[in-house]
Amino acid sequence: MPFHQFKTASKLPAAEHGGLPANPLDEILGRVLGRFGLDKIATYFARYAKDWPNLKPWLPEDLGPGSFLMDCHCHTGLSDGEGNFESVLARIGKDRLLDGLLFTDHVWRLGADGKTRIPNEKVLHQSFDALNIVKKLKEKKVLPEHFVSFPGSAEFVCRGTARFPTRGVELIGAALPPTFIEDHGGLRRIRNLLAEELVSRIHDAGGIAILVHPFYFENAYSPTLWREVDAVEMVNQTTHMFVEPAARGFTKKARGDLPLVDEAFRLQPLFGYFAWRARVELQEHPRPVVGSSDAHVEVFAGAGCTWCKEPVTCIEDFRKLLRLRHTEGILNPRWDRAADIDGIIDAIWHHWGKKIVQTMHSLNRERRAVIPVLKLATMFLKGMKDVPFTRP
């Protein structure tokens, strides 16, 4: 069984021709949930229940010869991911999953407790170490000679947008000089910028600005930011991952009875919303797009990617393709063919699953007052969680 089942084999518009009809419930909910990116959540769930194919991201059946695939968003142990430059690249090279990869670690690292975020002022300097690893792996024939990686890339966080100035927003700055952070007064000053201001500084430094998971809770939509970035992340496989039925397998690794598991699975369709919502916006307000894995564990590197219509040899090639809109955000068929489901479930369990199980037990022990609310909130989803996977 392939990991990705919530997918389409051909490119589909996010809404039918003529735009997305207004949903009265969205009009009401949008006033409260719009700042969290959930302004069309009622429309999404109504269509999910009917198994509309245009909800699902594109996983092409055949890319054709000469296709160039690049993952534009990947983390390592330098921030909150796992592995290092060499281990991630070696895994990608083994099955020829990609032709290019951007390491985009957060501008912080995790403390010893696994929770505290410690600013990492040297993250851009560290990203340049990947170039030597790429060169070494090419010499060993682990990576193909045409493989590219652009150092000076990181995932920044700023205080908000012009529309929602107090909601944190994350942006990738790619191909920046190693001194970019120091040149702009350090991470504390960058953190206090509006996203639109950070985009301007990235451009002044010759970099590329990418809006990542644009409707994923904190990254609420802002029209000005949408217009000013160089690309919008059309597919983020990590925010999409938990909609897949195979992802439920991590619960089998938990000891004893797992409370609230049915309620948790009823919320599972929510994770398909974010990629669909981005595509709706891109249909209404087109922008250059990328796709990426946002991998935090090695096994997911390359699962989502950017399909470039021409080979990329340097950052200027990539900039040109974005400008011409000759890129697509897709789920990666090379990755899906090579995917080891058992290994994926193990990775989900160790990186996310244990924390999810702890949260379930904590709610059941210490916050029982919220359980009736949770059950009521998920009751109307009871019959739909498996619909897209059980219909012939």
DSSP calls for 356-367: HHHHHHHHHHH-
The confidence band for 257, taking pLDDT boundaries of 50, 70 and 90, is confident
Check whether 381 has a pLDDT greater than 50: yes
Check whether 22 has a pLDDT greater than 80: no
Domain 24-390: CATH architecture, name and number where available: Alpha-Beta Barrel (3.20)
According to the model, what pLDDT value does residue 256 have?
A: 84
Q: Residue 74 forms beta bridges with which residues? A: 103, 295
In angstroms, what CA-CA distances link 11 with 47, 53, 79? 18, 10, 34
pLDDT digits (tens, 9 = 90+) for 147-159: 999 999 999 999 9
Separation CA 206–CA 36 (nearest Å)? 31
Domain boundaries, the chain: 24-390
Strands 154-158 and 231-236: unpaired
Check whether 17 has a pLDDT greater than 60: no
Judge whether 334 and 101 are in contact, CB under 8 Å: no
pLDDT digits (tens, 9 = 90+) for 321-342: 999 999 999 999 999 999 999 9
CA atoms within 13 Å, Cβ hemisphere of 164:
20
Q: Left, alpha or beta for 90 (phi > 0: left; psi -120 to 50: alpha)? A: alpha
Which token pair is 234?
């059309």
| Residue 325 DSSP symbol | T
According to the model, what pLDDT value does residue 386 have?
A: 65
What's the one-letter identity of residue 22?
A
Separation CA 170–CA 173 (nearest Å)? 10
pLDDT digits (tens, 9 = 90+) for 331-373: 999 999 999 999 999 999 999 999 999 988 988 888 888 788 7
Check whether 221 has a pLDDT greater than 80: no
Tell me which residue of 27, 1, 99 sits closest to 302, measured CA to CA.
Answer: 99
According to the model, what pLDDT value does residue 173 have?
A: 99
Judge whether 85 and 286 are in contact, CB under 8 Å: no
Which sign does the torsion angle of CA 245, 32, 364, 373 carry? negative
| Residue 219 DSSP symbol | S
According to the model, what pLDDT value does residue 65 have?
A: 80
What's the one-letter identity of residue 47?
R
Separation CA 92–CA 95 (nearest Å)? 6
Separation CA 181–CA 107 (nearest Å)? 10
Tell me which residue of 36, 101, 109 sits closest to 70, measured CA to CA.
Answer: 101
The confidence band for 390, taking pLDDT boundaries of 50, 70 and 90, is low
What DSSP line would sit under 230-291, residue for residue?
SEEEEEEHHHHHTTSGGGGGGGGGS-S--TTHHHHHHTGGGGGHHHHHHHHHHHHS---EEE
Judge whether 153 and 175 are in contact, CB under 8 Å: yes
According to the model, what pLDDT value does residue 19 have?
A: 62
